[in-house]
Structure 1
Amino acid sequence: MPMRAQEIEAMIVAAIPDARVEITDLAGDGDHYAARVEAESFRGMSRVAQQRAVYAALGGRMGGVLHALQLTTVVPN
């Protein structure tokens, strides 16, 4: 069963409380999303570490319930 955008956002914010999350359903099928995650807590982390933090927040759903996620992580200006 596909994941809803609100569920993805809630999981990310639960793990990264200062995150501002924007989710876009790329194909309208609930399986292919883009996410932009902005968090002050990313400051000082490499881009890879930032993305690992987001994937960890999804609790192993990548590749299973959530088929594809185009991920952009940023630190606020």
Structure 2
Amino acid sequence: GAFVYSCDEVISQLANSDFEQYSKNAYVIVEEGFSNWPQLEQIFLHVNETSLSFAEIAKSGTYTENLYGEPWKIT
């Protein structure tokens, strides 16, 4: 299944919480005309030793893949 969260929801509910998501892929999709890149540059997705900002994932135009079988965490 897919989960959809706003930036505010990610920051207030998921970042630095006990949230863990076991999934193979993670996407960050922004609305057309989105301009608050500094906010996305401060939110990070972690798995194993890999850490990517939401901005990096969104700007790549694709997804990031979890090759480790460990849960994603958000800070």
Length-normalised TM-score, structure 2: 0.29
TM-score, normalised with respect to structure 1: 0.29
